[in-house]
């Protein structure tokens, strides 16, 4: 608990927001909103920020890590961007419904999630000075922004009244990066131990090309494809991961490996590891205790892996023995302790939270179940609802799927109880939302995924201070 408070105190050491640049948009830039006023600026460290408020503002302010659009390219000067809603149709729909929306860009705050939360709180002060105190403040975001949503509700319940998120890290960064280390370890050990790929202490200039070459080598032969399947299985890699492609059949193992091969480099998230290691000042991942035979059993993908190994004429047992004997990697204890309160969770929230998610190659479905377990242990799972979208890729939900989750949150805040979250009820909400929307939100893909495998790793407050290098 002491270090959790220290993390919050550390987060408060941020630069003041720059004076606002005020602009006014008219008409077509935001569907069904006659006018949208924007304030924007740049922090001394180069962080852009922006808040958009429609003329029909209903008093609710939404704050998003990505609320000012994409960060500037490395080396490019940071300047205020032309006012406008980032985030596409979902953000346009929010504005059309009278919600104010704003936030910052991801860099240079990086993976310092407590600091990102504080920047959003400071941004709220700017919005308040311009338009008055919001009746409600909600955290929203996807991918890295979903981490910030969870931390916002933990760290600042005095500010945030609820949250909605998608596509990001329910198991926390320690577990997420351990899972990815396991996949990379299997691939390098079995496909090319001499590869230049560094599994930890990432050098992106070296490791991104090396990983691409390693995956290309693996997918070129039946033996390599079987080993790529094993690497993906231990991480519970999504079997449908390429947006715009049809889902492979349950027994189409070749098609599943094709999907994995196309997404593997991106999903390995080496830039994420590099960013986390920068803040941690060391390696935060280890596989000294990994049992790869157990991880394969846990994955539910044994049939796929066994079939591909048989087709390639390989012995799966021999490869598992090779992995068991291979030298392992230990983490830096101090680095792990440094990031635990910043990038993993306590589950102590006091306001409702909705997650709209899919089986994502970056964040497997089971990671979302880990967060439910964290909340259950904290006694707060009653405040959480998880909706499943049947989409491929990172952020594979439609704008309509996200709009349904957002409306579920608003109804919970308005009534004090959760509405029916059965699939037929959610589909009814989706149909009504689409029919009444001035913005094209696409189709709903919400569905029941059935039973999901148990997650390979969990790391939350229960684990803090427990890691010891061996």
Mean pLDDT of the chain: 91
State residue 45's pLDDT score.
85
The answer to whether the CB of 467 falls within 8 A of the CB of 334 is: no
Q: Given a cut of 80, is residue 388 above it in pLDDT?
A: yes
Q: Given a cut of 70, is residue 32 above it in pLDDT?
A: no
Which of 20-24, 233-237, 290-294, 300-304 shows the lowest per-residue confidence on average (mean pLDDT)? 20-24
Confidence of residue 71 (pLDDT cuts 50, 70, 90): low
Q: Which residues pair with 353 in a beta bridge?
A: 163, 384
- Separation CA 71–CA 105 (nearest Å): 5
State residue 22's pLDDT score.
52
- Separation CA 230–CA 309 (nearest Å): 9
Q: CA dist 355 to 48, 157, 201, 329, 444, Å?
A: 26, 18, 32, 33, 15
Confidence of residue 2 (pLDDT cuts 50, 70, 90): very low
Q: Which helix (H) or strand (E) holds 433?
A: helix 423-436
Report pLDDT digits (tens) over 95-144. 999 999 999 999 999 999 999 999 999 999 999 999 999 999 999 999 99
User: Rounded mean pLDDT of 263-291?
Assistant: 98
User: Rounded mean pLDDT of 388-406?
Assistant: 97
Report pLDDT digits (tens) over 406-421. 999 999 999 999 999 9
Report pLDDT digits (tens) over 147-185. 999 999 999 999 999 999 999 889 999 999 999 999 999
Q: Which residues of 239-275 are buried (b: 16+ CB within 10 A; e: fewer)?
A: bbbbeeeebbeeeebebbbbbbbbbbbebbbbebbbb
Report pLDDT digits (tens) over 310-367. 999 999 999 999 999 999 999 999 999 999 999 999 999 999 999 999 999 999 999 9
Residue 319: closest CA among 216, 433, 229: 229
Label residue 336 exposed, middle or buried (CB < 10 Å: 0-12, 13-18, 19+): buried
Q: What percent of the chain has pLDDT over 70?
A: 89
The answer to whether the CB of 301 falls within 8 A of the CB of 229 is: yes
Helices 302-312 and 222-235 pack at an angle, to 10 degrees, of: 160
What lies within 8 Å, CB to CB, of 246 at 6+ separation is: none
How many residues comprise the chain?
470
Q: What percent of the chain has pLDDT over 90?
A: 86
User: Rounded mean pLDDT of 24-48?
Assistant: 67
Q: Given a cut of 90, is residue 10 above it in pLDDT?
A: no
User: Rounded mean pLDDT of 255-277?
Assistant: 98
State residue 129's pLDDT score.
96
Q: CA dist 114 to 4, 8, 65, 413, Å?
A: 10, 6, 12, 25
Q: Which helix (H) or strand (E) holds 172?
A: helix 172-191
State residue 30's pLDDT score.
39
The answer to whether the CB of 168 falls within 8 A of the CB of 455 is: no
- Using DSSP's 3-state secondary structure scheme, residue 42 falls into strand
Task: For the chain, give the longest Cα–Cα distance.
Answer: 69
The pTM score is: 0.91
The HSE-up count of residue 454 (CA atoms within 13 Å, CB side) is 8
Residue 213: closest CA among 228, 197, 199: 197
DSSP state, residue 434? H
Report pLDDT digits (tens) over 77-104. 444 444 445 668 999 999 999 999 999 9
Q: CA dist 37 to 11, 17, 32, 137, Å?
A: 29, 18, 14, 18
Q: Which residues pair with 357 in a beta bridge?
A: 388
Q: CA dist 283 to 21, 202, 232, 292, Å?
A: 40, 9, 22, 21
Residue 280: closest CA among 365, 206, 214, 340: 340
What is the SS3 string spanning 364-416? CHHHHHHHHHHHHHHCCHHHEEEEEECCCCCCCCCHHHHHHHHHHHHHHHHHC
- Separation CA 434–CA 427 (nearest Å): 11
Please measure the distance between the N-terminal and C-terminal CA atoms of the chain and give it in whole angstroms.
Answer: 26
Confidence of residue 470 (pLDDT cuts 50, 70, 90): confident
- Label residue 252 left, alpha or beta by phi (over 0 means left) and psi (-120 to 50 means alpha): beta
Query: Which domains does the chain carry?
Result: 2-171+352-436 (3.40.50.1820), 173-337 (no CATH)
What lies within 8 Å, CB to CB, of 320 at 6+ separation is: 292, 293, 296
């Amino acid at each position: 608990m002491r270090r959790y408070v220290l993390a919050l105190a550390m987060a408060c050491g941020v630069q003041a927001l720059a004076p606002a640049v005020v602009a006014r948009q008219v008409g077509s830039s935001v569907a069904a909103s006659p006018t949208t006023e924007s304030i924007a600026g740049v922090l001394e460290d180069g962080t852009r920020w922006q808040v958009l408020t429609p003329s029909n503002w209903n008093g609710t302010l939404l704050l998003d890590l990505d609320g000012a659009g994409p960060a500037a390219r490395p080396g490019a000067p940071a300047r205020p961007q032309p006012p406008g809603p980032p985030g596409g149709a979902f953000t346009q729909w929010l504005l059309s419904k009278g919600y104010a929306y704003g936030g910052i860009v991801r860099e240079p705050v990086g993976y310092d999630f407590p600091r990102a939360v504080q920047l959003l709180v400071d941004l709220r002060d700017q919005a308040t000075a311009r338009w008055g105190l919001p009746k409600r403040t909600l955290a929203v975001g996807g991918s890295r922004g979903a981490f910030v949503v969870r931390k916002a509700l933990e760290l600042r319940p005095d500010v945030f009244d609820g949250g909605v998120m998608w596509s990001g890290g329910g198991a926390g960064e320690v577990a997420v990066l351990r899972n990815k280390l396991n996949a990379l370890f299997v691939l390098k050990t079995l496909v090319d131990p001499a590869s230049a790929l560094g599994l930890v202490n990432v050098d992106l200039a070296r490791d991104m090309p090396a990983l691409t070459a390693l995956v290309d080598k693996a997918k070129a032969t039946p033996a390599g494809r079987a080993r790529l399947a094993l690497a993906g299985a231990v991480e519970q890699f999504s079997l449908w991961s390429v947006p715009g492609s049809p889902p492979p059949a349950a027994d189409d193992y070749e098609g599943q490996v094709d999907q994995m091969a196309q997404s593997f480099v991106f999903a390995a998230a080496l830039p994420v590891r590099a960013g986390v290691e920068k803040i941690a000042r060391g390696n935060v991942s280890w596989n000294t205790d990994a049992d790869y035979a157990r991880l394969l059993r846990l994955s539910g993908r044994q049939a796929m892996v066994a079939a591909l190994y048989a087709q390639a004429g390989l012995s799966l047992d021999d490869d598992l023995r090779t992995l068991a004997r291979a030298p392992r990697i230990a983490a830096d204890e101090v680095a792990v302790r440094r990031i635990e309160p910043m990038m993993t969770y306590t589950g102590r929230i006091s306001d409702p939270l909705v997650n709209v998610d899919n089986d994502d190659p970056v964040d497997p479905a089971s990671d979302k179940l880990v967060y439910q377990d964290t909340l259950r242990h904290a006694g707060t799972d009653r405040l959480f609802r998880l909706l499943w979208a049947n989409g491929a890729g990172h952020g594979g939900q439609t704008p309509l799927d996200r709009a349904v989750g957002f409306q579920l949150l608003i109804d919970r805040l308005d009534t004090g109880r959760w509405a029916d979250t059965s699939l037929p009820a959610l589909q009814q909400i989706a149909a009504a939302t689409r029919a009444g929307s001035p913005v094209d939100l696409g189709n709903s893909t919400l569905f029941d995924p059935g039973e999901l495998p148990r997650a390979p790793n969990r790391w939350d407050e229960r684990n803090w201070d427990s890691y010891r290098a061996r």
